[in-house]
Structure 1
Amino acid sequence: MKIDAKVYQNAERLHWAYRQGLVPGGQVRPLYLEGGQRFWYARRTGDDKEIILVDPAAGTREVVAEPPAAPGDFLEARSPDGRHVAFRRGHDLWIRSEDGQEGPLTTDGRQDYEYGTAPDVMKPTTIMRTLGIPDLPPAVAWSPDSARIVTHRTDQREVRETHWIEARPADGSEPALHTKRYPYPGDEQAPVAELVVLNAEDGTVVRAKSEPVNMPFFSPIQMRWLWWSQDGEAIYYLDQPRDYQTLRLNRLDPDTGEVTTIVAESGPTRVEPNQFLGAPPMVEVFGEEVLWYSQRDGWGHLYLYDAATGEPKNQVTSGEWAVREILRVDEQGRVVYFTASGLVEENPYRRSVCRVGLDGSGFAKVADDDLDHVVSLPDSGEYFVDSASTVITPPVITVRGWDGRVIVELERPDVSGLEALGRRAPQPFRVKAADGETDIYGVIHLPPDFDPARRYPVVDSPYPGPQTNRVSPAFDQGFFGYMSEQIAALGFVVVALDGRGTPGRGKAFHDESYGRLATAGFLEDHVAAFHQLAETRPWMDLDRGVAVFGMSGGGFATVRAMLDFPELYKVAVSICGSHDNQYYQQGVGEMYDGPGADYTESSNTEDAARLEGKLLLIHGGMDDNVSPQQTLRLVDRLLAADKDFELLIVPGADHLFIGYEHHMLRRLWDFLVRHHLGAEPPAGYRLTPAPLDMDLISGFFS
């Protein structure tokens, strides 16, 4: 059987659908003006883009010809009064005034011991070279009065170096060596941040009188783990030792450098300010009080502390649900606003906007519905932008007041363009995990011509966390959701779910992953789910087994599925997989597997000889997030075991395959069609290369 080219064309149209604005207004990314009094956003419609200006106070929304304010240079950090910018030059920080005069704030920076920079390990250097981006924004925070800057000196001097060979640089010259500091789990040396306060007016330097801050992934300033008090009299920051079993809130005196600990909490596993890595920490300091997030009762809740004594005052939220993000603290009204998951019986991942008194009384939903709410708000906190949807319900995006009333409706997206391509809304489901007790949730993507009387080959699309979810409770299913829709359009049923150990629920559920990275997001739960789903969905053809594909951590899970459950998983495409945790990022192994773990347990290379079935490995040769050596180490062991497999190394490709995405996708589609659908792809079919989408790129770097 040969696949008709129209099938590939339809899948490709779905690939382009989100890029080309077939869901106009599906997302709103507000850019706030004048402290949030107004904001604007770009609305894409086909090849065109509209600029929408919103004035919440006036209740207006209008189309304007140009953005109301040009964005500043993202490599500069402007002071609150707008009179100065801080920027990096060489290894030091500099300042420039509005009249153009500039000078250094530091002069002793040097290679691998420099000011205002993030650690190398998560810096997307290959993508930056591709896009011509010379650096990331400086890691600095201005004081409210624009007089001082807090930053850090990043020390990577003794951190392990990892190397990449660029086989053919863009100019066609000889192979080039690229090196970055990239530590592995268990290494003695790790990147650290030495906190320092710089006076922008007189050049005074005050260094924190404390140990440097552990910095496994990003700058604490970029992670919002460090901030100024509202009056500028103190700097607050969170820090953790490398075992991640203690979290401390510290106060840094910007005049003296003295550091005192206000609140500290320890536990037998990870102690986190948010289960989602990179999400805002749920800690607020206001007046003489601290709001502190803790999972000490088994759920993520807020607690009120005395900022002067560090003593607890009362628990603010409680119940078998989890706080997800602090939105606003109304000090005068003694109320905190936040999002929470677990309040909707149908799906515990849906986020609700809530309020409660700081004494724990008066809990209520601000938006009293069962939708999932994605929220953005300005620094002023006078209102919030709310995108309310479900997996099957397109979003309604509004500006709301804190009483829940709609001030301005922004978007009510038309999804008819997607439906015209045959896109079917994912089917949500709930089944039992492999333990037979725990509820787990996911979605099923169906082919455009779905007929329940037919039987369809089934594909699994895993991402194991433990730092994020695979399935979103919102209409927008994100990058992996888009890939799943495209593959479903080829004639497959594609399943995605979150097994035990992933975030967004209770502490015990998340802790299932602690010390168990080898389970790859509890693949045994995936196996259990497939058998339960097939009992009531006879159109899921498990007789031919299940195919599986994934990227990055999902690439690791893809191969792990083939190794651990060969009776079910028969075909696999692993893309840029982190196959050998011994030689992957230090922070991932030490945070999620625990200190001193046997990292070989979460290494696919150790078990490569057990491979059965059809496997395609794809990796970018210049992937500096998950190094190509991760795949090549696996290849070495597969060859040693004389296993058959296919390998595609894309020499110049980064972790996102920018410029090569069309080829990577076609090879993924072709492999699944040949080996799982049992058909031949359309001869000579080629996907159209994607132009650089600067909206997506700017979101990636923001």
Structure 2
Amino acid sequence: MNKLKIFSALLLGLLLVNNSIAQEKKKVALADVFKSNAFSQKSVYGINWMKDGQYYSSLQRGTAGPKVVKINVATGAESGVLIDGAALRVDFSSYSFNPDETKALIGSEVESIYRRSSKGVYHVVDLKTGQAQKLMDGEKIMHATLSPDNDKVAFVKDNNLYMLALANNQLTQITTDGKWNHIINGSADWVYEEEFSMSQAFDWSPDGKKIAFIRFDETDVPEFNMQTWGKLYPEDYKFKYPKAGEKNAEVSIHVYELSSQKTVKVDAGSEIDIYLPRIYWTGDANTLAFLRVNRLQNQIDLLYANGETGETKLILEDKSETYVDLDYNDDLRFLEGNKGFIRTSEKDGYKHIYHHDNQGKLIRQITTGDWEVTNLVGIDEKGKKIYFMSTEVSPMERNLFVINLDGKGKKMLTPEKGTYSVNMSKDFKYFIANFSNSSTPLQVTLHDSSGKLLKGLEDNAALQTSLENFEITQKEFFKFNTVDGTSLNGYMIKPADFDEGKKYPVLMYVYGGPGSQNVNNSWGGTRDFWHQHLASEGYIVVCVDNRGTGGRGRDFKHVTYANLGKYETEDQIAGAKYLGGLPFVDQTRIGIWGWSYGGYMSSLALMIGNDVFKTAIAVAPVTTWRYYDTVYTERFLQTPQLNAAGYDDNSPITHVNKLKGNFLLIHGTGDDNVHFQNSVDLVDALIKADKQFETMFYPNKNHGIYGGNTTWHLYSLMTDFIKRKL
């Protein structure tokens, strides 16, 4: 055989091999996503920076049990085991150090209550001896917290606040009036936990001589009743849930002094129909700061309280014609030596950083611009620098910046295009970055304070290799103008074998609630890979962030005030019309789906946009804001008594007569957040309107609808519905 024939044979062989490799790429199957977890990411968990900045600790789980290891920042090498679960015979899942790192609290047998609350068995570990002391003989308690002097632990049990002396196990009961569904001391009620992102409601003073706590009197708050199924006689679960316009808990702040064993009530003003969602000890061990929010949430006040007398002084107030969002005014940090405090506010139209003196007088606005500070990472007082995350590069991305306390010298420390979150060392010499973008799964890296990369901690290389075996298509980001000319952001996932000359059905995915964002340049989760499965079946999946969503300033977000659902629905319909005008989209086969607020949106879109949408799936939807909680709903709609039209005009129940397309309604009967009642009433209205639809309920499942075979069943159900109806 001559050389030309040999070369031709080799070339043919290579082509056959390459074709074989190309043909081996497989579609994303439902089982890959929900059974084998083929697309799950790895990370580095339980990281706590050590006080000297040269080490950090990490919680690791092995076959022998959990352990907390100490890792040298410079070398990346383990420098010893700090807590050994196997040696202690404790299968712990959480840990925290005291300030001088001589002791640690570990939690085991943790039992979730609601979204953020839990109770468990706690041990105090002496890091020098390795010995562990079990608290309360193993009774499950909440919010166990070491005192600053390390010899006491405060915690909540049965709605009362307690303190335990570690030396002799002497127990002090600080409050005695705690009672289920009546009085809560030191722990948040349901609505504070859900909407103010808090569960623990007490804090040690810096000198360990006092404990400040919040007391909730929810006696007169209406009870919500959920039935739990699975027994001969279903059981009732009753808890206090203040629905829009109904009575909230009466909330008060108190300070307990250890030496006198006396409790002082803080003067929060004469108005009792208020919120007290935050307490902070300032640099002065006798001064407690707290936030007071009015019922309509259009004013937030910062007050100082004397820890001995309870007397208060107004320091600062923020007002708005719409609402003042606590999430945008919650980065409050007190500087050492009574040098004032740093806070964030969106009073100039975007969330920015402000420096005030100790009495609230503005020293300067530190950051400015048509972009948002998303959170404060840390304040290096010695170096006079502030580290923060922002949307300056793009509202769809998050980057770390540093700026001098005087507002000068701003510098970006994370230059890659995508989404970062960071964990900074206590001495501000290092940070651990978690980075991803739409084409790169999670990358965990170690950097110095200048942003220089020191070490990779997790690159998800195995996942990236695995992805090469699947037909995965990248998100394509796009923009279009809605009905009022506002430019909206979106992304599109096309089939891997996309052909410009074909017409494809489209499934839109929506959440759309105030301040939320789905269109981000970041790696996706389970739902994104379900969307990849649908793309492999010949669907285009699209997501659009409507007006009212976050990352683009106060005006863009607040346009939906007092009229939730109207502009958001208009934008999703406009998005569908824009897509229907593209040459490769079948405008007769456009569907939409969403969960929670997204279920509310998908329901409205199918009904109001019945000439545009053919199919919709609503999972755990709000169907009338009259059924949702006070804090969230009234922030955006005021009360039903003040704004009845805002509640009713854009309720899906109001628009059932407009339903023409295919509708699938899904809810968990054990949803403590968006109650099953929402779907029951929508079903009732649909029946009265003589509208056919499909529905599925999941017994005893909460708002997340998961556990056991549930997730697989849910997504299989939705996939089948889409294939039949779109």
Matched, 1:232 2:285: yes
Instruction: Looking at secondary structure, tell me which structure has more strand per residue.
Output: 2
Pick aligned residue for 1:60 from 69, 76, 95: 76
Supply the distance in 2 between the matched residues of 1:200 and 1:407 (Cα, whole angstroms): 46
Matched, 1:430 2:479: yes
**1:54-105 CA-partner distances (Å, limit 9, x unpaired):** 6354341559899767531253223344322222222311122224332311
Q: Return 463-472 or 607-616, whichever deviates more.
A: 463-472
Pick aligned residue for 1:180 from 197, 217, 239: 239
Aligned 8 A contact 1:273 1:294 in 2 = no
Larger radius of gyration: 2
Aligned 8 A contact 1:184 1:586 in 2 = yes
Pick aligned residue for 2:441 from 394, 397, 400: 394
Supply the distance in 2 between the matched residues of 1:567 and 1:194 (Cα, whole angstroms): 52
**1:350-374 CA-partner distances (Å, limit 9, x unpaired):** 1121122232222222334444221
Pick aligned residue for 2:398 from 324, 329, 351: 351
Pick aligned residue for 1:528 from 574, 582, 592: 574
Judged with a 3 Å threshold, the aligned counterparts in structure 2 of structure 1 residues 13 and 464 are, in CA distance, closer, same or farther, namely same
> What SS does the aligned partner of 1:60 have?
coil
Root mean square deviation of aligned Cα = 3.1
Aligned residue number for residue 162 of structure 2: 94
Offset of 1:42 from its aligned partner? 6.1
**1:579-636 CA-partner distances (Å, limit 9, x unpaired):** 1111111122210123522211232112211111111111111111111110111111
Aligned residue number for residue 334 of structure 1: 384
Alignment of 1:436-585 (within 5 A): 436=485, 438-475=486-523, 477-478=524-525, 480-519=527-566, 522-533=568-579, 535=581, 538-542=583-587, 544-585=588-629
Task: Name the count of aligned residue pairs.
Answer: 634
Supply the distance in 1 between the matched residues of 2:83 and 2:494 (Cα, whole angstroms): 40
Alignment of 1:116-515 (within 5 A): 116-121=186-191, 138-166=200-228, 168-169=229-230, 172-187=231-246, 189-211=247-269, 220=277, 225-275=278-328, 281-286=330-335, 287-308=338-359, 310-341=360-391, 343-344=392-393, 347-377=394-424, 381-414=428-461, 415-436=464-485, 438-475=486-523, 477-478=524-525, 480-515=527-562
Aligned 8 A contact 1:293 1:300 in 2 = yes
> Aligned partner of 2:482: which letter?
A
Judged with a 3 Å threshold, the aligned counterparts in structure 2 of structure 1 residues 44 and 593 are, in CA distance, closer, same or farther, namely farther
> What SS does the aligned partner of 1:336 have?
strand
Judged with a 3 Å threshold, the aligned counterparts in structure 2 of structure 1 residues 50 and 207 are, in CA distance, closer, same or farther, namely closer
Supply the distance in 2 between the matched residues of 1:48 and 1:500 (Cα, whole angstroms): 51
Alignment of 1:20-31 (within 5 A): 22-25=40-43, 30-31=47-48
Offset of 1:565 from its aligned partner? 0.6
Judged with a 3 Å threshold, the aligned counterparts in structure 2 of structure 1 residues 633 and 58 are, in CA distance, closer, same or farther, namely same
Supply the distance in 1 between the matched residues of 2:80 and 2:586 (Cα, whole angstroms): 52
Aligned residue number for residue 15 of structure 1: 34
**1:8-53 CA-partner distances (Å, limit 9, x unpaired):** 9712202356x5664334x6552445587543446899x9999895
> What SS does the aligned partner of 1:251 have?
strand
> Aligned partner of 2:166: which letter?
E
Unaligned runs of 5+ in 2: 1-24, 86-91, 96-105, 108-119, 121-141
Judged with a 3 Å threshold, the aligned counterparts in structure 2 of structure 1 residues 472 and 98 are, in CA distance, closer, same or farther, namely farther
**1:181-216 CA-partner distances (Å, limit 9, x unpaired):** 1112122x2124311122345422122122488787
Offset of 1:524 from its aligned partner? 2.3
Aligned 8 A contact 2:193 2:199 in 1 = no
Q: Return 373-382 or 584-593, whichever deviates more.
A: 373-382
Aligned residue number for residue 131 of structure 2: none
> What SS does the aligned partner of 2:680 have?
helix
Supply the distance in 2 between the matched residues of 1:198 and 1:379 (Cα, whole angstroms): 30
Aligned residue number for residue 125 of structure 2: none
Q: Which has the higher contact order (CA 8 A, sep 6+)?
A: 1
Aligned 8 A contact 1:238 1:249 in 2 = yes
Aligned residue number for residue 39 of structure 1: 56
Judged with a 3 Å threshold, the aligned counterparts in structure 2 of structure 1 residues 515 and 533 are, in CA distance, closer, same or farther, namely same
Supply the distance in 2 between the matched residues of 1:152 and 1:40 (Cα, whole angstroms): 32
> Aligned partner of 1:466: which letter?
P
Matched, 1:84 2:152: yes
Offset of 1:394 from its aligned partner? 3.4
TM-score scaled to structure 2, two decimals? 0.80
**1:334-385 CA-partner distances (Å, limit 9, x unpaired):** 32221111x22xx323112112223222222233444422122355555322
Judged with a 3 Å threshold, the aligned counterparts in structure 2 of structure 1 residues 447 and 149 are, in CA distance, closer, same or farther, namely farther
TM-score scaled to structure 1, two decimals? 0.83
Offset of 1:511 from its aligned partner? 1.1
Offset of 1:554 from its aligned partner? 0.8
Aligned 8 A contact 1:349 1:505 in 2 = no
Judged with a 3 Å threshold, the aligned counterparts in structure 2 of structure 1 residues 425 and 56 are, in CA distance, closer, same or farther, namely farther
Instruction: Give the fraction of aligned pairs with identical amino acids, expressed as a percent.
Output: 26
> Aligned partner of 2:234: which letter?
P
Supply the distance in 1 between the matched residues of 2:26 and 2:65 (Cα, whole angstroms): 29
Pick aligned residue for 1:114 from 170, 175, 184: 184
Judged with a 3 Å threshold, the aligned counterparts in structure 2 of structure 1 residues 66 and 490 are, in CA distance, closer, same or farther, namely farther
Supply the distance in 2 between the matched residues of 1:114 and 1:106 (Cα, whole angstroms): 10
Judged with a 3 Å threshold, the aligned counterparts in structure 2 of structure 1 residues 594 and 492 are, in CA distance, closer, same or farther, namely same
Aligned 8 A contact 2:589 2:614 in 1 = yes
Supply the distance in 2 between the matched residues of 1:8 and 1:652 (Cα, whole angstroms): 34
> Aligned partner of 1:484: which letter?
H
Supply the distance in 2 between the matched residues of 1:35 and 1:145 (Cα, whole angstroms): 22
Supply the distance in 2 between the matched residues of 1:48 and 1:675 (Cα, whole angstroms): 50
Supply the distance in 2 between the matched residues of 1:333 and 1:238 (Cα, whole angstroms): 29
Aligned 8 A contact 2:72 2:78 in 1 = no
Aligned 8 A contact 1:80 1:144 in 2 = yes
Pick aligned residue for 1:632 from 680, 691, 694: 680
Supply the distance in 1 between the matched residues of 2:383 and 2:545 (Cα, whole angstroms): 38
> What SS does the aligned partner of 1:673 have?
helix
Unaligned runs of 5+ in 1: 1-5, 125-135, 677-702
Judged with a 3 Å threshold, the aligned counterparts in structure 2 of structure 1 residues 646 and 35 are, in CA distance, closer, same or farther, namely farther
Q: Return 77-86 or 625-634, whichever deviates more.
A: 77-86
Aligned residue number for residue 679 of structure 1: none
Supply the distance in 1 between the matched residues of 2:551 and 2:559 (Cα, whole angstroms): 13
